[in-house]
């Protein structure tokens, strides 16, 4: 086989690497050649010297711990193809559980929905793609993140309202049927924050004061005011936060509290309903 062919290069470069897997290299080659996996195995095209140099640079970034989504500047989430860069957290597959549970609980009837701390827009845009009649607001404190969300909205031909706000500060009472959030919930002293992948991500999107609970608490407290009658809040939280999160839901008047597990079987999501008189 020609040493410059894509498949030879994938094999050749997949040596003495710690973080970059063969699959990572394969995806990087597909990006460089702008071809599909089918094309790769059918045609096994050549990689020019320039393309090989680019591949080496990208492998080097991956070896230094940068998440593949930042290097490829994209990731799949739900049925969407999202642009991703260092301005936003990389959407995790487990967050799709939130989308799934919401879709399971609500049909296509028109609803007002708020995705708080939307980042790349992943949750709000996934909901929008499944429930086109819903009026969805995606908000974030960080204008740079909102640029990414806006880009993803256009890229996926969807329509949501994009709002710059600090959690629930700019919203009017009793307006939303569903509020959903994947807020920062790691503790600032969580050693994972300095691990290879996470240290490349925006700290503000990962960690919160009060052992990671400050923002979740603010969201639970203020959503109680901003939810419509029988409105529901859905939040993602961290391992070992179940007891505290459930107690915050109870303390703030939510009923029908439900916990949902991630793909590892850990409780990572909570929902509750506000019943107002």
Q: Which residues in this chain contact ligand GLN in the complex, by CB under 6 A? A: 89, 92, 182-186, 198, 206
Q: How far is the CB of 182 from ligand GLN (least distance, A)?
A: 5
DSSP 201: S
DSSP 111: -
Q: How far is the CB of 190 from ligand GLN (least distance, A)?
A: 9
DSSP 46: B
Alpha-carbon distance of 184 to 89, in angstroms, equals: 10
Q: How far is the CB of 34 from ligand GLN (least distance, A)?
A: 31
DSSP 164: E
SS3 at position 196: coil
In the bound state with ligand GLN, the residue whose beta carbon lies nearer, of 29 and 98, is 98
- Is 214 within 8 Å of 183 (Cβ atoms)? no
Q: How far is the CB of 184 from ligand GLN (least distance, A)?
A: 5
State the residue number with the nearest CB to ligand GLN: 206
Q: How far is the CB of 248 from ligand GLN (least distance, A)?
A: 16
In the bound state with ligand GLN, the residue whose beta carbon lies nearer, of 11 and 92, is 92
CA-nearest of 195, 234, 192, 233 to 212 is 192
In the bound state with ligand GLN, the residue whose beta carbon lies nearer, of 177 and 262, is 262
In the bound state with ligand GLN, the residue whose beta carbon lies nearer, of 183 and 272, is 183
In the bound state with ligand GLN, the residue whose beta carbon lies nearer, of 25 and 88, is 88
CA-nearest of 105, 101, 144 to 121 is 144
In the bound state with ligand GLN, the residue whose beta carbon lies nearer, of 33 and 237, is 237
Residue in the block written with tokens 């960080």: 142
Alpha-carbon distance of 129 to 134, in angstroms, equals: 10
Helix/strand/coil percent split, the chain, to 5: 40, 20, 35
Angle at 84 between CA 82 and CA 162, to 5 degrees: 70
Q: How far is the CB of 110 from ligand GLN (least distance, A)?
A: 29
């Amino acid at each position: 086989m020609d040493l410059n062919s894509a498949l030879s290069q994938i094999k050749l470069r997949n040596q003495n690497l710690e973080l970059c897997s063969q699959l990572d290299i394969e995806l990087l080659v597909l990006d460089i050649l702008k071809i599909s996996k089918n094309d790769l195995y059918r045609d096994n095209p050549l990689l020019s010297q320039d393309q090989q140099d680019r591949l080496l640079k990208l492998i080097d970034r991956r070896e230094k711990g940068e998440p593949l989504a930042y290097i490829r500047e994209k990731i799949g989430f739900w049925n969407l193809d999202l642009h991703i860069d260092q301005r936003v957290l990389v959407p995790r597959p487990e967050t799709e559980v939130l989308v799934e549970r919401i879709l399971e609980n609500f049909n296509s009837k028109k609803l007002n929905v708020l995705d708080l701390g939307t980042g790349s827009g992943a949750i709000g845009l996934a909901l929008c793609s499944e429930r086109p009649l819903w009026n969805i607001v995606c908000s974030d404190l960080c204008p740079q993140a909102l640029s990414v969300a806006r880009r993803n909205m256009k890229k996926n031909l969807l329509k949501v309202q994009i709002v710059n706000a600090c959690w629930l500060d700019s919203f009017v009472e009793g307006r939303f049927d569903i509020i959903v959030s994947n807020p920062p919930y790691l503790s600032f002293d969580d050693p994972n924050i300095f691990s290879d992948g996470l240290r490349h991500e925006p700290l503000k999107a990962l960690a919160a004061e009060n052992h990671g609970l400050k923002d979740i608490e603010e969201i639970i407290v203020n959503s109680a005011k901003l939810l419509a009658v029988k409105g529901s809040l859905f939040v993602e939280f961290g391992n070992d936060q179940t007891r505290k999160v459930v107690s915050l839901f109870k303390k703030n008047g939510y009923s029908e509290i439900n916990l949902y597990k991630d793909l590892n079987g850990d409780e990572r999501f909570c929902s509750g309903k506000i019943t107002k008189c």
